[in-house]
Structure 1
Amino acid sequence: MKYILAIDSGATKSDALLYPLDDFTNGKHKTKLFKFPFINLNLLGFTESFKRLKNIIKDINEIAGKGNILAVSAGISGARYEKDRKKLAAALSKTTGIKQIYILPDTEIALAAAFDSTTKNCGILIAGTGSIFYYKSGDGKIKRIGGWGRHIGDEGSGHWIAREALYKVTKHYDKRLNSETLAKVFKKEFGIDETNIIQHVYHRGFEISKLTKHVFRCAENGDKVSIEIIKDAADNLLTHFIPIKKQKYSVALMGSLLTEEKLLAMELKKAAKRYFPDISFVKPEFPPVWGAVKYALQNAKF
């Protein structure tokens, strides 16, 4: 049995799909999906990203059988620049012996999974740990808005929401704002309070995006400060659409914040109806990892 190994890696996890090229059951391919640690080229750097990808290929190769993976197609978060992607693909080919390895931005495979290749005026808004709008314009050109990372961008993302919540909590400590609910939750769940918040954030490597889900739970329970943070996040995500204002576009919402957190998606759609009435929201055709399969089928030689 010969296979394509398709990989979709975001900021929290990697999905690896083993796609058989010649096995059909009831007219469908029998695929297997595996979970691995996340890969982000910006956050991890080349060496660690290479190591994690190599380990995924090695583990799946043992399942598929030596020499049975004919192509690897991987969408990697943070792989914004072509020279970095080519370097990573070349190093993996040399190490694994698999000649056909394609490293792509995770946004590229997500768009390919969400829409047919012939569709124009379409795009994907991704909101997870980070945020980005990746779209195909009427002339067929691919463009991106955002995706600059947590330090200088990623408005409305999980990291942004967590940072806003910490900002509100520190104002509570200063008695400038009543954010008692969030302050109590952060104390209970993480031991964070006025005496140690600086140590947690600046010196202990605390991953602040862990706070995000608690902001949503507080908002769902009626906490006004948390609700305001979610509404602000929706407004910030909407700014990604400014370059396509007054144009008709189909947009698929993707990423954990927009697929798993109903409140954010609801607020986003509500605000979009007012400020961007020409945008229609649609469900993606397939999960992102299938975009990597599509790319391999279109570009690899079997």
Structure 2
Amino acid sequence: MDNYYIAIDGGGTKTDAVIFSTGGQLINRVIGAGTNPNGMDFNQVTEHFRKLFSELMSVKKPVSIAGCYAGLSGSDHPALTRKLANAIKDACPVKISHLQVGNDAMNALWSGTDGRPGLVVIAGTGSIAFGILDNGKYFRMGGWGYLFGDEGSGYAIGRETVRRVLMVYDGRERETTLISALTRYFHVQSINDIVPIVYQSSKDVIAGLVPIVASEAEQGDCLAEHILFEAAQDLISLIQNGMSKFESVPETVLVGGVWNSRIIREKVCSGISAPFIFPDYPPVYGSIAKCVNEWEYQNEGLLDSLKKQLIKGKPA
């Protein structure tokens, strides 16, 4: 008889969940609302999980779930981890025999290592390094938010771009094609008109400047290239400090939208003599790998089968 598992990758804006069987079938995958408790009360978190499970089990509702691993943002503190675990148990319509809740950075790591220890550096809107040592202990570096940290992140690049472009407007910085690029992005006539807009913009909007900076750098704009070089140097420092925690060079996974920049990738890869993994699978696969490794004796055949289905974006 097949066992059934649920794998979850939860963040502030969305939660990605998969239900699969030990027979190798990815039964369903659902993208639901965010489940980060830092942005809502726990009643709302529980309700989001309830809706997620209802849709997830609309294809097949097993009698019970053998195991569930949930990698969730906002779960760093033990008290929050316990409350999130209770929210999942309360929301799930069937019994979960084994349940573990951990940081969503673990999913990102395991999506590249198939559940093995290593280091992950996430560079999206924010940035953070997260590592799991061979002895099972884990650590984090960075990720202190857009005001005091997140170096090398999309937001940091966007913020620096706005700052430097306004210096150009003042005559304190070299001319750049970023001025016309930003006026188009923010739909303004003059670059100084962006000031009230950026102060009211979300972090995602500021981080959305990264592809624009990357495009201008590829076309030879010196300032855009310099901004990316500075971000790459910040990421190199984060990676090197993370690697120093290991006795030998760890498997190192790089995830997040910032790594789509060729210039940043090449600068980092040339600055550190170590192989890097850019995962082909979404972070929820890391949760799948954890379930299989934890409760199904590291069944590589099962993982391979689920990979093939997951990368297609839908069950086989």
* TM-score normalised over the length of structure 1: 0.80
Give the secondary structure class of the aligned counterpart of 2:6. Answer: strand
Q: 1:291 aligns with which of 286, 289, 294?
A: 286
Deviation at 1:37, TM superposition (A): 5.0
Q: 1:222 aligns with which of 203, 220, 223?
A: 220
Q: Which residue of 1 aligns with 2:257?
A: 256
Q: Which residue of 2 aligns with 1:74?
A: 70
1:200 aligns with 2:201: no
Give the secondary structure class of the aligned counterpart of 1:124. Answer: strand
Rounded Cα–Cα distance in structure 1 between residues aligned with 2:185 and 2:268: 28
Deviation at 1:269, TM superposition (A): 0.9
2:18–2:56 contact (8 Å) kept in structure 1? no
Deviation at 1:81, TM superposition (A): 1.8
Give the secondary structure class of the aligned counterpart of 2:148. Answer: coil
2:49–2:91 contact (8 Å) kept in structure 1? no
Deviation at 1:217, TM superposition (A): 1.5
Structure 1 residues 87-144: Cα deviation after superposition (integer angstroms, max 9, x where no partner): 1221232233444343321112233333366x66x31222112212222346553222
2:21–2:27 contact (8 Å) kept in structure 1? yes
Q: 1:138 to 1:86 in 2, by over 3 A?
A: closer
Deviation at 1:242, TM superposition (A): 2.5
2:64–2:95 contact (8 Å) kept in structure 1? no
Q: 1:109 to 1:128 in 2, by over 3 A?
A: same
Tell me which amino acid in the other structure corresponds to 1:63: V
Rounded Cα–Cα distance in structure 1 between residues aligned with 2:279 and 2:10: 17
Rounded Cα–Cα distance in structure 2 between residues aligned with 1:49 and 1:176: 48
Q: Which residue of 2 aligns with 1:271?
A: 271
Deviation at 1:173, TM superposition (A): 2.3
Note the 1:78-157 alignment, pairs <5 A.
78-100=74-96, 101-115=99-113, 122-137=118-133, 139-157=135-153
Tell which deviates more after alignment, 83-92 or 171-180: 171-180
Deviation at 1:165, TM superposition (A): 0.9
2:235–2:268 contact (8 Å) kept in structure 1? yes
Give the secondary structure class of the aligned counterpart of 2:58. Answer: helix
Q: Which residue of 2 aligns with 1:276?
A: none
Q: How much is the aligned-residue C-alpha RMSD, in angstroms? A: 3.1
1:242 aligns with 2:241: yes
Tell me which amino acid in the other structure corresponds to 1:242: N
Rounded Cα–Cα distance in structure 1 between residues aligned with 2:13 and 2:235: 20
Structure 1 residues 40-91: Cα deviation after superposition (integer angstroms, max 9, x where no partner): 444x244455444443222212233375655442212333222112112212
Q: Which stretches in structure 1 are left out of the alignment for 5+ residues?
A: 274-278
Q: 2:209 aligns with which of 186, 193, 211?
A: 211
1:71–1:98 contact (8 Å) kept in structure 2? no
Deviation at 1:266, TM superposition (A): 0.9
Deviation at 1:163, TM superposition (A): 1.0
Percentage of identical aligned residues: 27
Give the secondary structure class of the aligned counterpart of 2:102. Answer: strand
Tell me which amino acid in the other structure corresponds to 2:8: I
Tell which deviates more after alignment, 186-195 or 84-93: 186-195
Tell which deviates more after alignment, 77-86 or 281-290: 281-290
* TM-score normalised over the length of structure 2: 0.77
Give the secondary structure class of the aligned counterpart of 1:295. Answer: helix
Rounded Cα–Cα distance in structure 2 between residues aligned with 1:8 and 1:150: 22
1:46–1:88 contact (8 Å) kept in structure 2? no
1:59 aligns with 2:55: yes
Rounded Cα–Cα distance in structure 2 between residues aligned with 1:99 and 1:151: 42
Q: 1:140 to 1:300 in 2, by over 3 A?
A: closer
1:165 aligns with 2:175: no
Tell me which amino acid in the other structure corresponds to 1:293: I
Rounded Cα–Cα distance in structure 1 between residues aligned with 2:242 and 2:31: 36
Rounded Cα–Cα distance in structure 2 between residues aligned with 1:54 and 1:229: 44
Structure 1 residues 254-284: Cα deviation after superposition (integer angstroms, max 9, x where no partner): 22322x33321111111224xxxxx432455
2:181–2:212 contact (8 Å) kept in structure 1? yes
Q: Which stretches in structure 2 are left out of the alignment for 5+ residues?
A: 297-316
Q: Which residue of 2 aligns with 1:188?
A: 184
Give the secondary structure class of the aligned counterpart of 1:102. Answer: strand
Give the secondary structure class of the aligned counterpart of 1:64. Answer: coil
Note the 1:9-24 alignment, pairs <5 A.
9-10=10-11, 13-21=14-22, 23-24=23-24
